[in-house]
Chain A
Amino acid sequence: MGRPGKFLLGGSGLLNRSTVNKRLPYILLAPSVIILLALILYPLGFALRNSFWFWNLQTSPMPLYHSGWDNFRMVFLVTPFSEALKNTLLLAGLGTFAQFWLGMGIALLLHTHLRGMGLMRAVLIMPTTLAPVVAGFLFRYLLEPKGGILPWLLKGLGVPVPPQGFLGNAGTALFSIGLVDTWQWTPFFAIVLYAGLLSISEEIKEAAQVDGASGWRMFWSVTLPLLRPIAAFLVMIRFMQLFNSFDLVYVLTNGGPGTASRTLSFNLYREGLVNYNIGLTAAMTWLVVIIVSIIINLYLFFVFRKREW
């Protein structure tokens, strides 16, 4: 054993204080990194393995044989994958866009310190606290073509309502799902962006005003750039959530009519929990992971290419 304090571990002299200091952060971080990797990599690895095996619980409780790329081919041959991908991108893209700008508008309104804004903040958060299934059932009744309040109101305003109802019409089913999601999640954007607005220093705004910026110019050139980090992450998170939309689709339309509101997550549910084709579902999962990863990494690249994050 060496002198106290010089060697912390053992008597070999390999781990002196400076070595320990250098490695300590890694040692301390190691358990959480290992757990995190295990939680992420194990399921993905398990799914990857299964994606190359024929395993359908309708015919066998165990994987039967190595099937090469068959499951990936089957994704395109027997499931409405391309329709679901198109719908998912539409829902996620348009939904995120609408929710961001509506949320921004509400946040700016909240920031005006008009009377009643405190109450509005409290009320705003309420839809976000509802489970999507509950919101889905609520709107299913509101959109019911025979007696639902929304078709009745719209008809009263002269807006044409499809005879099959908004949820039964191929042209409006996906839009209706997006509408319900927007109703539920726009307040989330509003609250977080409002917090972002509060964090912008008054001095910066005053300096911009001194330099002649006001109104829209102030918003586009000062406020929005300063909100960019928060907004970018918000958009990313909501896009990913919307990309995985399932609850509302399940409750409102069950993916129909036809494939009009099928999403990738709904396809996964059908293949995994209805048809019990584990191999096919694993292959589809990996395709979805790849697609989402490409989109998110491209997004991060363009949004943060000039910044460290």
Chain B
Amino acid sequence: MSKDRLSRRDFLRMSGAAGAALAGASPLGNLARVAAQTDTTINVLTVGDPWDLALQSVTDQFTEMTGITVNIESLGYTALQARLVNAFLTQSADADVIAVDQMWISQYADNGWIRSLDDFIAMDSDAHFDDFVPECLYSLSTWRNHVWTLPIASYAQGIMYRTDLFEAAGLDLLPASVADAGDWTWEDYFGILDQINGMDLDGTSMYGTTVIGAQPVPVVHMYTQLAASYGTRWFTQFPEAPWDFSPTINSDANTAALHDWLKLYAASPPESINYLWFDAGTRFSQGDIGMFYHWTPYFYLVNNEGYLTGTPSPVVDKFETAVLPTMSAGGDQVVSLGGWSLGMPSTSANQDAAWQFIKWATGSEGQKAMGQVNVKGHQFADFSRKSNYEDADLNAIYPFLGTQLEMMKLGDGKVVRPPAPIYTSLEGVYGLQINQAMTGAVTPEQALATTQTLFQNILSGNQMIPYGVESFDDTLENTKALIASLSGM
């Protein structure tokens, strides 16, 4: 936005002030009086992920500061989505703040189930909106040039590998920084796997890696990272305008990726065909996996022997993290960026208090408090703010934050797993076909040809080919412009 024009923030500030003067008590006018909101209780509906444990551990701090009581209810992933959709449909949503998966944003926003946070952000300088890593906001929170949620836990993907195994095999350590990555490629990655798969380490026969193979969602989360690195794109044109959802999933790049994915599976425990996210993480932490890539929360979760058990795993101090390789030496990289954000249902009767909670929980202080929680070990490093990544205290607890931030900055959640309408249906058939290829029932070529046909049928059947609704040029650059606009920059 040009400097000589009235900025969105200025406009909203003026109109908010005028509105408050006229109406006396507009919701936005109450923002400055949060500290006095005693007797206010808000209901927060979240998902039972590790970040939720950390959040629940520090919520008392928020109540002490604001007087707002917070009731948090945690549900499983599917149960949360079912509860929210049913509540929205029957207009009986009782939550003031909800956890939103990045893939639900378009559905919730287009249906008017959650309200845009633009006004709150623009009116509240305490939000420090420009402190967010733009890629996190872009991937998790924006849709059609509005901010619908704020990130509470951002995940990129990266590598974990056993340093003792690498030493025994005479291998160099992997690059922890893009600057050191040089010509670090997937070809090198597969070369290392060939070398370490089946090696004996202190009497343990090692698997080269492990995959997350369960269909349909888990396998898509892991596979799409490899596919995106290889250059796979789902649609002819998205998120850039004009949107053209004609599928491009049956491409040479994706065929090569799926062939190589089967190589990864061949170097994995056979039962990993049914592995969920935490199964793969737990398997690494049990000590017989040499190297794998996963969502970044596993950078700290693998310190536990099991999932959030609090018992130190045998791999503590025996593993390191590294950046993902590229398809070709020095080539472009795109990293999967996902996670959770907090949004506000349109039906919330406590919108001011809800905003205060969202602002605090996703803010630098709230996030730092979550990162310092030490219950069954430190269990939260999924920061979305630059200030948290620069924080010395947090870096002392989570030494991998530098690597994680570099992966975040290469992240693009709108390309690797595009959050287009009906994404869930597409993910369902995609994951099923990848898993079919892993069983050997179909070849990679057959799996991708079927996926392409099913994508075409689903997208056509849901009126997305041709796409009749107005497109939006949903690029990172436009999100950066939105951040600048809402931050009054």
Instruction: List A residues at the B interface (Cβ < 8 Å).
Output: 54, 56-61, 70, 74, 77-78, 80, 145-146, 162-165, 167-168, 170, 253-260, 270, 273-277
Contact = CB atoms under 8 A, between A and B. Distances in A.
B274 A78 contact: no
Nearest to A171: B439
A258 B274 contact: no
What 9 pairs between A and B have smallest CB-CB spacing? A163-B270, A258-B436, A168-B274, A164-B270, A275-B425, A77-B457, A145-B271, A258-B439, A165-B271
Contacts of A270: 428
A58 B421 contact: yes
14 contacts: A57-B107, A59-B110, A59-B463, A61-B89, A77-B454, A78-B454, A78-B458, A146-B271, A165-B271, A256-B215, A256-B432, A257-B435, A257-B436, A258-B441
Majority-rule SS of A interface residues: loop
A163 B436 CA distance: 17
Contacts of A146: 269, 271
A259 B441 CA distance: 10
A78 B461 contact: yes
Given A78-B458, A258-B441, A168 B273 contact: yes
Contacts of B421: 58-59
A277 B425 contact: yes
B424 interface: yes
A165 B272 CA distance: 10
Nearest to B424: A275
Given A77-B457, A168-B274, A257-B436, 8 more contacts: A54-B462, A164-B274, A167-B274, A168-B270, A257-B435, A258-B432, A273-B78, A274-B424
B422 A170 contact: no
A257 B215 CA distance: 7
A54 B68 CA distance: 43
Contacts of B439: 170, 257-258, 260
Nearest to B103: A58
Interface string B454-466: 1001100111000
Given A78-B457, A146-B271, A255-B215, A276 B424 contact: yes
Contacts of B463: 54, 59
A258 B428 CA distance: 11
Contacts of B458: 78
B120 interface: no
B405 interface: no
A165 B274 contact: yes
Nearest to A270: B428
B193 interface: no
B329 to A, nearest CB: 36
A145 B187 CA distance: 31
Contact of A58 (B274, B425, B435, B436): B425
B422 A164 contact: no
B85 interface: yes
Contacts of A259: 432, 436
Nearest to B77: A274
Nearest to A140: B274
B88 interface: yes
Contacts of A165: 270-271, 274
A256 B435 contact: yes
B428 A59 contact: no
Most B CB contacts (10 A, CB to CB) among A61, A162, A258 go to A258
A260 B438 CA distance: 12
B447 to A, nearest CB: 10
A57 B424 CA distance: 11
B429 interface: yes
B424 A258 contact: no
Contact of B85 (A57, A78, A260): A57
B82 interface: yes
B111 interface: yes
A163 B432 CA distance: 21
